[in-house]
Amino acid sequence: MEEKLTYNVNIDLANDTKKHIAKELETEEKRVLNKVGAFSSLFDIQFPEYTDPVLVLKTEEPGSKQLLAMQYDRIEGVCFDMINHLINDCIVMGARPLSIQDAIICGKLDSEIIKRCVKAMAQAAKKQECVLTGGETSEQPGVLNDDTYILTSSIAGIVDRQNIIDGSDIEIGDCVLALESSGIHTNGYTLVRQIMAKNEKIMNETIEDRTFIDAVLEPHRCYYLALKDLFPEKIIHGLAHITGGGIKENLNRILPKNMNALIDLSAYRPLLIFKVLKEYGNVEEEEMIRTFNLGVGMTLVTNPKNKEKVIEHMREQGISCYEIGKIVSGNQKVETINSIDWTKQ
């Protein structure tokens, strides 16, 4: 008898899972107009407090950090990574985050993992005054391995046109401030995994009273709550989220065409996790700079007269902020001088 084929996707399990995650998506946000389970989400966009509103849109995923997160059962952490990274990319425009949608793609649906992911993403969004309004869960046997999960998410934010922060206000003589990262954030994990595979002794390292893997998987810091009160003051000329490519491939994205950023590497305060990775991996400084944030999670460009105000404000928000460079004449590049002091605490 000819073998009968089946769909091989567990529709009943998927439906049961969706019923459970619907509870996590319940919100008191009055702008969300319809219930969970609809084909798409409805979001009220009447904003009388905005005179010329502009939507800010972005899609993000947490990269290969997902592999380590699944391996070490840090599912909630990597969901916070993704949402925080996503919101950071939105707010560098001076925007307020509004709504997030997620997608979870897997080889074989594990209901508990999906529930944990959605719950964590909803919590991460709520913590930043945003809301997870829905998403997609897709089981794709034969496309992905059974234990493989791929997370992605998209955001819609809003900003008044006259309040957009896009670097166009940057002037020669402005100072560049570093906002401290919480760790590796979500970039450079392909190199991290190579270092771990090359020298397993690194797993025995203690990073400021934490295990190595705890330090490696520390969630991405979100800067929205710390920065939002500065937006109305219009003292921020530019914000750059330091992600893949490091400071050289991110700060340049907001520079006017006739200006460079001159960064003094000796001003950096590299976090201990980066020192350990550099030592065990025997990684050249230039490669470290191009791969990691090295403790600088975001850069903020402002007039020198506002420097101390910004530094003090960030200190009050619990984030270390310090000067690392200035804006000079040039052609939209990031130049560096001196070297990083890897012994600096």
226 and 203, same structural domain? yes
248 and 128, same structural domain? no
Residue 153 domain boundaries: 11-163
Closest CA to 246 of 189, 190, 295, 292: 292
Per-residue pLDDT for 17 more than 70? Answer: no
| Domain annotation covers residue 64 | yes
Place of tokens 């191009």: 290
In which band, very low, low, confident or very high, does the pLDDT at 18 lie, cut at 50, 70 and 90?
low
| Domain annotation covers residue 6 | no
**Which residue, of 103, 135, 163, is where some domain finishes?**
163
Strand partners of residue 300: 177, 239
185 and 332, same structural domain? yes
Q: Write phi, then psi, for 207 (nearest 5 degrees).
A: -110, 100
221 and 84, same structural domain? no
Instruction: Please answer whether residues 180 and 294 qualify as being in contact, where contact means their C-beta atoms are separated by less than 8 angstroms.
Output: no
| Domain annotation covers residue 2 | no
Instruction: Compute CA 53 distance to the chain's CA centroid, rounded to the nearest angstrom.
Output: 24
| Domain annotation covers residue 55 | yes
In which band, very low, low, confident or very high, does the pLDDT at 21 lie, cut at 50, 70 and 90?
low
Place of tokens 């939507």: 55
pLDDT digits (tens, 9 = 90+) for 135-190: 999 999 999 999 899 999 999 999 999 999 999 999 999 999 999 999 999 999 99
- What average pLDDT does the structure give for the chain? 93
259 and 133, same structural domain? no
| Domain annotation covers residue 187 | yes
83 and 146, same structural domain? yes
Closest CA to 322 of 337, 307, 339: 307
pLDDT at 161: 98
| Domain annotation covers residue 345 | no
Q: State how far the alpha carbon of 30 is from the alpha carbons of 50, 75, 98, 151, in Å.
A: 18, 29, 12, 27
245 and 152, same structural domain? no
**Which residue, of 163, 186, 205, is where some domain finishes?**
163
Determine the Cα–Cα distance for residues 289 and 294; give it in Å rounded to an integer. 7
In which band, very low, low, confident or very high, does the pLDDT at 25 lie, cut at 50, 70 and 90?
low
Q: Rg for the chain (alpha carbons), in Å?
A: 22
> Which token pair is 54?
């502009």
Query: Residues 123-141: what's their mean pLDDT?
Result: 94
141 and 195, same structural domain? no
Assign residue 35 the CATH number of its domain.
Answer: 3.30.1330.10
Number of domains in the chain: 2
pLDDT digits (tens, 9 = 90+) for 304-344: 999 999 999 999 999 999 999 999 999 999 999 999 999 97
179 and 157, same structural domain? no
Long-range Cβ pairs for the range 224-230 (8 Å, 24+): 224/87, 224/88, 224/91, 224/97, 224/128, 224/129, 225/128, 225/129, 225/317, 226/179, 226/313, 226/314, 226/317, 226/318, 226/319, 227/91, 228/91, 228/96, 229/313, 230/310, 230/313
pLDDT at 36: 73
Strand pairing class (96-106; 131-139): parallel
| Domain annotation covers residue 80 | yes
* Category of 46 on φ-ψ map: left (φ > 0), alpha (ψ -120 to 50) or beta: beta
244 and 152, same structural domain? no
**Which residue, of 138, 163, 188, is where some domain finishes?**
163
157 and 185, same structural domain? no
pLDDT at 34: 79
Assign residue 273 the CATH number of its domain.
Answer: 3.90.650.10
pLDDT at 332: 98
Q: State how far the alpha carbon of 122 is from the alpha carbons of 83, 102, 130, 294, in Å.
A: 9, 10, 9, 29
| Domain annotation covers residue 342 | no
pLDDT digits (tens, 9 = 90+) for 204-228: 999 999 999 999 999 999 999 999 9
122 and 68, same structural domain? yes
Determine the Cα–Cα distance for residues 272 and 255; give it in Å rounded to an integer. 30
